[in-house]
Structure 1
Amino acid sequence: MFQVNDMVLYGTNGVCKVVDIDERDCGGRMVEYYILKPIYAANSTIFVPVNNEKLTSKMRYVLTKEEIDAKIRAIPEVQEEWMADERARKEHFKDMTSRADTFELIQLIKMLMEHREKVVARGKKLHVADERMLQEAEKMICDEFSYVLGIPKEDVPSYITNSMKESIH
C-alpha cells in the first residue's frame, strides 16, 4: 500500500506524488482513492481507487539511481526479434507500455531505434504506429530517469548511451 508523499510511476502518466489518500462518494458508496499529482503536469490530478487491482497494478515506486544503472547495464544483453505482423506488434508494444516496466520500455526503445535505422537506410520511414510507441516509451523513461537522476529530460538519452558504453568496457 502506498503512503502520502510516496513518489510513484503511474502508467503512461509518468512520475506522480501521492498527495492524499481519501474517501470519496462514488454512486452512493464510499471508495478510498489514491490522489496523485503528476510532477510534469502540475494542473492534473489522478484518482486511483485503492481497491481496484487493475488500476493499482499500474502504480509502482520510482526506481533508485542504482536500479536505473543496473537496468541500463543489462541493455546490451537484450535481444528481441522484430515482429513482422503489424497488428501483433502493435498489441505487444501496447502491453509493454501499459505495464510501465522500465526494462521492457528500454528494450522497446532499443528495438524500435534499431528497426528505424534499418528502414531509414533503405530510404523509408518508421511506421507511424511504431514511431508513436517509441515516443511514448521514451517519454515514460525520460520522465522517470530525469526525476530520479536530477537531470534534464533531454539529457536522459545521452546518460543511457554513456552508461551503456561504460558497462561494455
Structure 2
Amino acid sequence: MFKVDELVVYPSQGVGRVERVESQEIGGVKADFYIVRILSNNVTLMVPVANAVNVGLRSVCPADVGQQIFESLNDRTGFTGYTGQNWNRRYREYSEKLKSGDLADVAYVLKELFLIGKDKELSFGERRLLEQAMGLVSMELAYSLGRDQEAIKDDINEMFADVIAAQEKND
C-alpha cells in the first residue's frame, strides 16, 4: 500500500505523487483509488488500490538501483550496432518496454535508440520514443538520486556525445 505524499512511478507516465486515497462507487461497487498527480505534466490519475500492482504502479527506485541504471547507460558491451531489423518490430518491442514501467527496460530503449542513431538517422517515431524514454529515465533518476532532472539529461547526453555528433554530421 502506498502512502499519501509518496513518490510513485506509473508506467509510460513517469513519477507522480500520491495525493490521497479516495473511495468511490462505480457501477454500484465501492472501490478505493490512489489519486496520483504526475509531476511532469500535472495530470491526475485514479488508480484502483486493488489493481495498483497489476497496472505497474511502484515506488521510485532506491538510489543504489538508480545509480546502477545510470551507469548501465554508459556500458556499450553487447550492442552490435544497427542490424537493419524491421522498424515496426523494433517499435512494438520498444513501446512494450516503455509501458512496462521497469526502469531498466526504459533505460535499455533509451540506450538502444541513441546507439542506433549513430548508424542511421532515426525516424520521427524513433525520435519520439527516444524523447519519451529520456523523460522517463531522467525524471526517475532525478528523484532516485536526489539530483536535478536537467543535470541528469545533460549527463546522459554527454555519455552519448559521440552519437549525437555523428547524428548532427549526418543531418
Q: TM-score, normalised by structure 2?
A: 0.79
RMSD of aligned alpha carbons: 2.5
- Listed as ranges, the gaps of 5+ residues in structure 2 are 161-171
Contact 2:67 2:145 in 1 (8 A): no
Partner of residue 62, structure 1 = 60
CA–CA separation in structure 2 for the residues paired with 1:115 and 1:77? 12
Cα distance change of structure 1 residues 34 and 111 upon mapping to structure 2, 3 Å threshold: same
Distance 1:105 1:61, change over 3 A: same
- Count residues in correspondence: 157
More deviation, 143-152/64-73: 143-152
Cα 1:84/1:91, change in 2 over 3 Å: same
Q: Which moved more, 1:44-53 or 1:28-37?
A: 44-53
Task: Say whether the 8 Å CA contact 1:15–1:144 is kept in structure 2.
Answer: yes
Q: Percent identity?
A: 21
| 1:50 to partner: Cα distance | 1.6
Residue deviations 1:7-55 (CA, integer Å, cap 9, x gap): 101112211111112211112221111111122333x2110112236x7
In structure 1, list runs of 5 or more residues that go unmatched.
Answer: 120-124, 165-169
Secondary structure at 2:50's aligned position in 1?
coil
Note if contact 2:70-2:141 (Cα within 8 Å) is conserved in structure 1.
Answer: no
Match of 1:49 in 2: 48
Q: TM-score if structure 1 supplies the norm length?
A: 0.80
Contact 1:11 1:100 survives alignment (8 Å): yes
The answer to whether the 8 Å contact 1:71/1:103 transfers is yes
